[in-house]
Amino acid sequence: MRFSGSQYEIAAGPARVTIVEVGGGLRSYTVGGTEILDGYSADEICPGSAGQILIPWPNRIRDGRYAFGGGDHQLALSEAPAHNAIHGLIRWLRWDAVERTESSVTVECNLVAQPGYPWPLRMRTTWSLSEAGLTADHAVTNEGDQPCPFGIGAHPYLHVDVPVDDVVLTMPATSRLLTDGRGLPIGAAKVTGSVFDYTEGKRIGTTKLDTAFGDVIRDADGRSTVRLARPDGSAIAEVWSDRAFGWWQVYTGDTLPEERRRRSVAVEPMSCPPDAFRSGRDVISIAPGDTWTGTWGIRPGTAA
């Protein structure tokens, strides 16, 4: 059985990508048979949010409770052991392919108003592949008659061909969030001079990362790029995002089931930090009828 539904395959030269109907996310990405992602099989329920898109919030909301627009809202606790709501509401919805070419596919889904999030959204993602990399263009429209709170994240795990300890991480961000035992922010700190300072690139080592990084550094085009490399400096892969994404989450998979534990690195662009619906930090308010847009992508590195 294909638990991920229909498979939307695109290709460009030696590159192949599979987008899935269930969740509208990224199941696999290969170049010449080399894995770029640590994905999953078509007959497997998506593990650890691999390749999923996280709408209308990324990461966690404490107790699933928040206030917006003069009202209080209670979400289902989808991370029940920690009493959190996690990773949005659309990961298990079906996304239809509405436009297709050999190297691109546009998928679309409607989120209906519901308890805890009473705003209808129309969501569209165009996945475009070239030999230079994969790009995701997101457009989200508020179809309700009141402003809605919104955030987005993506959750690709990058395949690494060296131990995670030996991966050289370059993170263009100067601060990180401090978290409690439930993975929720309780403060922030500058990374300069700390074990979490990856601005110049260094080995991950034995550090366990499930960390949100902020105050991102951008290039002249407004992009921010996270790079994974081997100890010899050769690139494994890069994930980049435009100005719509002001945060990065890096996760070394230490809490995953044993077969996936610490075997890849999730590099997650986010528009807002964890628990943003409660803190209000970088939460986007989409006016009725308006559309939010944002873009991120993956560039494969060189073969080992």
Vertex 148: Cα angle to 142 and 151 (nearest 5): 90
pLDDT averaged over every residue in the chain: 97
Q: Assess whether pLDDT exceeds 90 at residue 55.
A: yes
From the list 60, 56, 38, 55, the residue with the least C-alpha distance to 47 is: 38
Q: Assess whether pLDDT exceeds 90 at residue 165.
A: yes
Which sequence spans correspond to the domains of the chain? 7-162+244-300
The residues, ordered by sequence, that sit 6+ positions from 229 with a Cβ below 8 Å of its Cβ are 167, 168, 170, 201, 235, 236, 301
254-269 pLDDT, tens digit per residue, is 999 999 999 999 999 9
214-273 pLDDT, tens digit per residue, is 999 999 999 999 999 999 999 999 999 999 999 999 999 999 999 999 999 999 999 999
In which residue are the tokens 């959190």 written? 84
- pLDDT recorded at residue 1: 66
Q: In the predicted model, what is the mean pLDDT of residues 76-85?
A: 96
Alpha carbon distance 174, 178 (integer Å): 13
- pLDDT recorded at residue 302: 80
- pLDDT recorded at residue 304: 66
Strands laid side by side in the 121-130 sheet = 96-100, 104-111, 121-130, 133-142, 291-300, 235-241, 224-229, 168-170, 202-203
Find the length of the chain. Answer: 304
Categorize the per-residue pLDDT at 72 as very low, low, confident or very high, splitting at 50, 70 and 90.
very high
111-164 pLDDT, tens digit per residue, is 999 999 999 999 999 999 999 999 999 999 999 999 999 999 999 999 999 999
**pTM here?**
0.96
| Inter-residue contact 153 to 268 (CB < 8 Å) | yes
In the chain, what percentage of residues exceed pLDDT 70? 99
- pLDDT recorded at residue 2: 85
Q: What is the bridge-based pairing of β-strands 173-179 and 26-31?
A: unpaired
The residues, ordered by sequence, that sit 6+ positions from 246 with a Cβ below 8 Å of its Cβ are 214, 216, 270, 271, 272, 282
> For the structural domain made of 7-162+244-300, what CATH number should be given?
2.70.98.10
- pLDDT recorded at residue 303: 73
Q: In the predicted model, what is the mean pLDDT of residues 10-33?
A: 97
Both structure tokens of 79: 């991370």
